[in-house]
């Protein structure tokens, strides 16, 4: 197994330090000013043509070698989360309430390390666009980049991205063709009742009771309206109403998160949720206002590109390091917007599954430095395989 890439080994120490520096200075979506500056400086130094200005803080590094016309795009996300870090690490966040709890610091540095190796060795024939994207966490940086024309300005034959994944063995590369990450929709519900004195409920329409009934009834959509073979999740994540025990509120609010791994199921959920909420509210003499917004789309990996990427991993590392047909995830990912426009593959890199492993978005989460070179090396191997030299 010829895993090591000498150039990457030479810069491993520097790249770990850089990862820690980014980790200590997390920036939220569309505010990745220092992070993108740091990325752009290095890309320029290594001879990349650098484009900035898309989606506030995006950076695109372009490198062309040979005369080939094929183009590959590789994307990394750069944003942190509004979380108070509790890792106790020497390089923990210096900014209270902001934290790299999803490992995007690692994604950024993996792609930078690959950029170094591709610029200094590893001949290929064609063009590589390294896309450093802002605001993956809920703010749809990918959608904004596409709306601002990233794939028109930098057309790609295929696009790829990876996520570090806790709960999977360190460094294993995981692939799945087809639907891989769930769609995410958010429903903002207001129940309008009729407020009044808490001692005289018969003169009111209590929106809290209406909400309680709706919340219980919503559970039956997943259990009774969607096939047990299909994944679907409805979570009422927030309920707000009233301020005092002896006052019946005028209205109540709920925020609901909806996930699916199939667009037909997604449509079905929307229809059932709206119908159920309106009917329930009406049954109690209340009314409902529903703002149903589509967040991230279903992430669908192209079958051919997934097979290609998995084969590159197997040729490089051997079959034991590659997991094929892994189970899809209920989480969502805005790389889905890129995959709506261009064939490609989103893969995972195991972040470790030991006792210390915790979920991403946990205040104790940290990207595993052991997988830095694995991720960077894969991007190098993938680029070489996608843009092969002429025989």
Site string for Zn ion, 75-104 (x = CB under 5 A): ---------------------------x--
Name which of 144 and 268 has its Cβ closer to Zn ion.
144
| Minimum gap (Å) between residue 333 Cβ and Zn ion | 7
89-92 long-range contacts, CB within 8 A, separation 24+: 89/23, 89/366, 90/20, 91/20, 91/21, 91/23, 91/24, 92/23, 92/24
Nearest to 73 by CA among 123, 116, 126, 27: 126
How many Å from the N-terminal Cα to the C-terminal Cα in the chain? Answer: 24
Name which of 8 and 102 has its Cβ closer to Zn ion.
102
Give burial (CB, 10 Å; 0-12/13-18/19+) of 85. Answer: buried
| Minimum gap (Å) between residue 151 Cβ and Zn ion | 21
Name which of 138 and 196 has its Cβ closer to Zn ion.
138
| Minimum gap (Å) between residue 307 Cβ and Zn ion | 25
Q: Do 244 and 277 contact (CB within 8 A), yes or no?
A: no
| Minimum gap (Å) between residue 86 Cβ and Zn ion | 17
Give burial (CB, 10 Å; 0-12/13-18/19+) of 133. Answer: buried
User: Contacts with Zn ion in 99-158 (CB under 5 A)?
Assistant: 102
Name which of 102 and 277 has its Cβ closer to Zn ion.
102
Helix (H, G, I), strand (E, B) or coil at 373: helix
Q: Do 252 and 208 contact (CB within 8 A), yes or no?
A: yes
Q: If binding is defined by CB under 5 A, does position 348 make contact with Zn ion?
A: no
Name which of 72 and 80 has its Cβ closer to Zn ion.
80
User: By CB under 5 A, how many residues form the interface with Zn ion?
Assistant: 1
Name which of 29 and 126 has its Cβ closer to Zn ion.
29
Give the integer Cα–Cα distance in Å for 28 and 63: 28
| Minimum gap (Å) between residue 282 Cβ and Zn ion | 38
Which string of b and e fits 101-111 if b means at least 16 CB within 10 Å? bbbbbbbbbbb
Nearest to 140 by CA among 330, 340, 351: 340
Q: Do 101 and 367 contact (CB within 8 A), yes or no?
A: no
| Minimum gap (Å) between residue 237 Cβ and Zn ion | 16
| Minimum gap (Å) between residue 367 Cβ and Zn ion | 10
Give the integer Cα–Cα distance in Å for 263 and 184: 11
User: Contacts with Zn ion in 202-261 (CB under 5 A)?
Assistant: none
Residue nearest to Zn ion (CB): 102
| Minimum gap (Å) between residue 330 Cβ and Zn ion | 13
Name which of 192 and 361 has its Cβ closer to Zn ion.
361
| Minimum gap (Å) between residue 240 Cβ and Zn ion | 25
Chain CA centroid to CA 319, Å = 27
Helix (H, G, I), strand (E, B) or coil at 287: strand
Name which of 82 and 201 has its Cβ closer to Zn ion.
82
Q: Could you list the residues that contact Zn ion (CB under 5 A)?
A: 102
């Amino acid at each position: 197994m010829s895993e090591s890439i000498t150039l990457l080994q030479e810069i491993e120490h520097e790249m770990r330090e850089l990862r820690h520096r980014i980790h200590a200075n997390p920036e939220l979506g569309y505010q990745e000013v220092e992070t993108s500056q740091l990325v752009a400086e290095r890309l320029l130094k290594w001879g990349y043509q650098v484009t900035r200005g898309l989606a506030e803080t995006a950076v695109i590094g372009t490198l062309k070698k040979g005369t080939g016309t094929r183009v590959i795009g590789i994307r990394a996300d750069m944003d942190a989360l509004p979380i108070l870090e509790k890792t106790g690490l020497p390089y923990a966040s210096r900014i209270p309430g902001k934290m790299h709890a999803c490992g995007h610091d690692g994604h950024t540095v993996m792609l930078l390390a690959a950029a170094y190796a591709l610029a200094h060795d590893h001949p290929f024939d064609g063009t590589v666009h390294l896309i450093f994207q802002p605001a993956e966490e809920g703010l749809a940086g990918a959608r904004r980049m596409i709306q601002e024309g990233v794939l028109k300005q930098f057309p790609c034959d295929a696009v790829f991205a990876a996520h570090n994944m806790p709960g999977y063995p360190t460094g294993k590369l995981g692939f799945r063709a087809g639907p891989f990450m769930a769609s995410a929709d958010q429903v903002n519900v207001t129940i309008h009742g009729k407020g009044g004195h808490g001692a005289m409920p018969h003169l009111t329409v209590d929106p809290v009771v209406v909400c309680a009934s709706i919340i219980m009834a919503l559970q039956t959509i997943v259990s009774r309206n969607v096939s047990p073979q299909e994944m679907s999740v409805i979570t009422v994540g927030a309920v707000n109403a009233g301020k005092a025990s002896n006052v019946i509120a005028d209205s109540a609010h709920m925020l609901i998160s909806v996930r699916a791994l199939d667009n037909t199921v997604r449509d079905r959920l929307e229809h059932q949720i709206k119908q159920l909420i309106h009917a329930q509210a009406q049954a109690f003499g209340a009314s409902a206002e529903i703002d149903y917004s589509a967040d991230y789309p279903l992430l669908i990996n192209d079958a051919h590109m997934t097979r290609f990427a998995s084969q590159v991993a197997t040729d490089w590392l051997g079959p034991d390091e590659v997991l094929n047909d892994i189970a899809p995830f209920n989480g969502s990912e805005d790389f889905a917007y890129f995959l709506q426009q261009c064939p490609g593959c989103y893969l995972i890199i195991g972040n470790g599954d030991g006792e210390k492993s915790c979920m991403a978005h946990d205040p104790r989460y940290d990207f595993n430095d052991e997988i830095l070179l694995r991720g960077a090396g894969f991007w190098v191997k993938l680029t070489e395989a996608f843009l092969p030299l002429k025989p």
